[in-house]
Structures are given as structure tokens and as C-alpha cells.
Amino acid sequence: MKTQQITKLFQKGDEVEVASHKIGFIDSYYEATIVSIENTYHYKIKYKTLLTDDESAPLEELVTIGEVRPVPPHQLETMSGNRFRLYDKVDVFSNDGCWFGFISGIMEKSTMSISLQLEITLHTLLMR
């Protein structure tokens, strides 16, 4: 299991991203809010896009501090398509979360192809 080095402690109400360690979702991050600080090593969080099994409310979970990272800066203010190069590693928002991927093609100055390295996809390809 991959965890990041802890560089910041969060407070109740902080907006964060939480890493998933579930099969098929490894290395993806989901937006959440810190609900409470449970102890030295755990936060209780509420996801913004993930729901409970019955889909009646946002999912709440207890997570370790190593699974939490700050939300990135607003993308429209910080990114420009002209700054990316072929094979650059990127964090891409897709399917309610952020996934690691890389620039696999550049069609025009503002249009790129991005390949995501999803565990489930790699597993399916290896099984064929």
C-alpha cells in the first residue's frame, strides 16, 4: 500500500482528497471534507462524490492521515495546455475522482490524449 509523506495536518472542515486502496481504484483520489479528528493517526471524512451503498447520503469513513492530501489549486488558474509534453505524468479527474496517468498523445495545442494506468484495466489485459 502506497502512502504519502505527511507534510500537513488538517483541521475539521478542511477540503481534502482521500486515496483509495480498493481493488480497481488503487491510486485514485476522491474529494472529501474532514468531519473530525478521531485520534493522532485518523480522520473521519465525508466524501463529496461517493455515496453509501443505498445511495441515500454521502459516504463517511475513517481514514489514516497518510491517505489524505490537500486539494489541488483551481486548474483553470494554474494550468495551460501548452505546458504539457508527451509522456508527462498527470493527475486527471475522471469517474468522480482523480487518477494518475500520462500524456500519450498531443493532437493539437489544446487537445491531448491521456492514458490512465488503472489497475482493473491492466489486470484485464494480462488475463487475455
Domain layout of the chain by residue ranges: 15-70, 75-127
What is the mean predicted confidence (pLDDT) over 75-95? 68
Residue 79 has pLDDT above 70, yes or no: no
Residue 120 has pLDDT above 50, yes or no: no
Q: Which three cell numbers stand for residue 94?
A: 475522471
Task: For cell 495545442, name the residue.
Answer: 109
Question: Which residues have C-beta within 8 Å of that of residue 8, sequence separation ≥ 6?
Answer: 70
**Would you say 92 and 84 are in contact if contact means Cβ atoms under 8 Å apart?**
no
DSSP symbol at 67: G
Q: Is residue 97 very low, low, confident or very high in pLDDT (cuts 50, 70, 90)? A: confident
Residue 34 has pLDDT above 90, yes or no: yes
